[in-house]
Homo-oligomer: A and B are copies of this chain.
């Protein structure tokens, strides 16, 4: 049994222009690991319809799940829902259940559900809504693509809504061994170790702290007993 795979598509000029630093990729990566869905690829594209449609089609065909963030608000540059409909060649229009959610929300807050806000009720045919307890305007899932907002608080709320509905796999566990040695000093022994435990993922991540070069050795795997045995062996190899 291999784990389900996932990709993420971050949509937004503001990331690529350097105006905003993306926070959603890191949040999703941390949320998927514990439920055993393997995040394999992330793409960031601008608010460009062709770029979005191309990326959605490629990722939806290549992975079990695709999570998108950004571009589902009420303004002219929010084109994600239309692009998802185009990518799957299905119609899109204002949907009654989504409109009712927005109507109740804006009625309660004394704001008008104007034409712009009504755009947030446009849902591609065949999609199911993703609950948004923060700002109500829903995301949606169409086939294997989960479409969510870019504002981090709203993205996180939608991730919390949608992940419990998905079938996960074996959670990946990891053990980290920080060493105050450079990668070049640990590489030969680590290569031999990785060959010995080829069923696990063995990584090496250099760091620099107070002028000292160090290396974090990380072992990852789904079987905790196997992982702990490997980690004990790793500590022996490096006498740590």
Q: A73 to chain B: which residues have CB within 8 Å?
A: 183, 204, 206
Nearest B residue to A116, CB-CB: B187
- The distance in angstroms between the C-alpha atoms of A186 and B13, with both chains bound, is 19
Q: How large is the interface on A (under 10, 10 to 19, 20 to 34, 35 or more residues)?
A: 35 or more
- CB within 8 Å for A203 and B47 given contacts A26-B22, A74-B183: yes
- CB within 8 Å for A184 and B111 given contacts A20-B205, A43-B43, A46-B40: yes
Max chain B CB contacts within 10 Å: which of A20, A153, A184, A194? A184
- The distance in angstroms between the C-alpha atoms of A202 and B13, with both chains bound, is 10
User: Is A203 touching B116 in the complex (CB atoms < 8 A)?
Assistant: no
* A interface residues with partner B (beta carbon < 8 Å): 10, 13-22, 25-26, 29-33, 39-47, 51, 73-77, 111, 114-117, 119, 135, 151, 153, 172, 174, 182-188, 190-191, 194, 201-208, 213, 218, 220
